[in-house]
């Protein structure tokens, strides 16, 4: 990387990883269009996958007491069913229309949830009402499809987040549980990158150059997360999801 590349990519890494340190998801899909425009897909995707893995591992370890292991195992089991199909689809198929349809669904759902959150803030001076449990007939296929999407796009699984927002209404448990799952999924992706021989000297130098930006993003994101009230946290989550959907739709 040149100094200009380091500055441009570093600014994106800082901003997007601060957002994930707040919410527990989103850094890869938000950073992907900008980083790949500078570095290319072959370098940008693995770079973001590894940086996201480091961030998720940090939160999973430091916030391990907040992890809901029952939900983690349930989510991982169903997502794991879809992951290999997504990895295959990324290599063998054109996922263009699936990605666009999912983007529309994510945007519509996120906007609905944002409007619901605004209504709660106007009508009550108390924490948000508990989420209704998602019916199993919807939840389990959603998680499998989320695994397909993560395997295909390394995108942080927006569909997984939709499920987790209902199953894990507490902001700390939501973030910690998702981060443990991203750690698990991205470990699989990183192993596949290692087998393909991505870890050459130039790549490793670029990864090391991003470390200060990643660290700064973690510090800022942690401070914001600790001060955020539950209703606002929910709005931020679905706001990030809406932006994620827009990025998926237009790119």
Q: What confidence tens digit (pLDDT) does each residue in 123-139 have? A: 554 444 444 567 778 88
Range ranked top by mean pLDDT from 93-107, 167-181, 187-201: 167-181
Nearest to 103 by CA among 151, 139, 155, 62: 155
pLDDT tens by residue, 19-41? 999 988 888 878 877 888 888 87
Let me know: does 52 contact 27? Beta carbons within 8 Å: yes
What average pLDDT does range 2-25 have in this prediction?
92
Residue scoring higher pLDDT (191 or 196): 191
Residue 64 pLDDT: 95
Q: With pLDDT > 90 as the criterion, what percentage of the chain qualifies?
A: 32
Helix axes 230-250, 3-23, angle to 10 degrees: 130
The token pair at 173 is 């448990």
Residue scoring higher pLDDT (39 or 214): 214
Residue 43 has pLDDT above 60, yes or no: yes
Let me know: does 236 contact 23? Beta carbons within 8 Å: yes
Residue 237 pLDDT: 82
| Model pTM score | 0.79
Let me know: does 190 contact 49? Beta carbons within 8 Å: yes
Number of compact structural domains in the chain: 1
Show the domain range for 38. Answer: 3-250
The length of the chain is 251
pLDDT tier at 202 (50, 70, 90 boundaries)?
confident
The token pair at 36 is 């790949």
Task: Map residue 19 onto helix, strand or coil.
Answer: helix
């Amino acid at each position: 990387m040149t100094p200009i590349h380091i500055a441009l990519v570093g600014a994106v890494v800082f901003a997007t990883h601060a957002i994930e340190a707040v919410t527990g998801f989103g850094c890869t899909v938000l950073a992907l269009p900008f980083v790949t425009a500078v570095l290319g897909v072959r370098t940008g995707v693995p770079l973001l996958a590894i940086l996201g893995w480091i961030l998720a591992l940090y939160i999973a370890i430091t916030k391990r007491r907040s992890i809901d292991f029952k939900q983690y195992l349930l989510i991982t089991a169903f997502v794991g069913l879809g992951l290999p199909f997504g990895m295959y689809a990324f290599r063998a198929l054109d996922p263009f229309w699936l990605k666009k349809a999912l983007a529309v669904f994510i945007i519509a759902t996120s906007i609905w949830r944002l409007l619901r959150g605004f209504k709660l803030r106007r009508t009550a001076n108390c924490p948000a009402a508990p989420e209704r449990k998602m019916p199993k007939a919807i939840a389990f296929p959603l998680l499998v499809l989320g695994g397909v999407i993560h395997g295909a796009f390394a995108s942080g699984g927006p569909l997984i987040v939709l499920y987790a927002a209902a199953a894990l209404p507490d902001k700390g448990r939501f973030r910690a549980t998702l981060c443990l799952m991203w750690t698990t999924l991205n470990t699989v992706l990183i192993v596949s990158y290692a087998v393909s021989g991505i870890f050459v000297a130039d790549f490793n130098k670029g990864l090391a150059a991003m470390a200060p930006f990643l660290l700064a993003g973690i510090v800022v994101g942690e401070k914001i997360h600790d001060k955020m009230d539950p209703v606002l946290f929910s709005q931020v989550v679905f706001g990030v999801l809406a932006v994620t959907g827009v990025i998926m739709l237009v790119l």
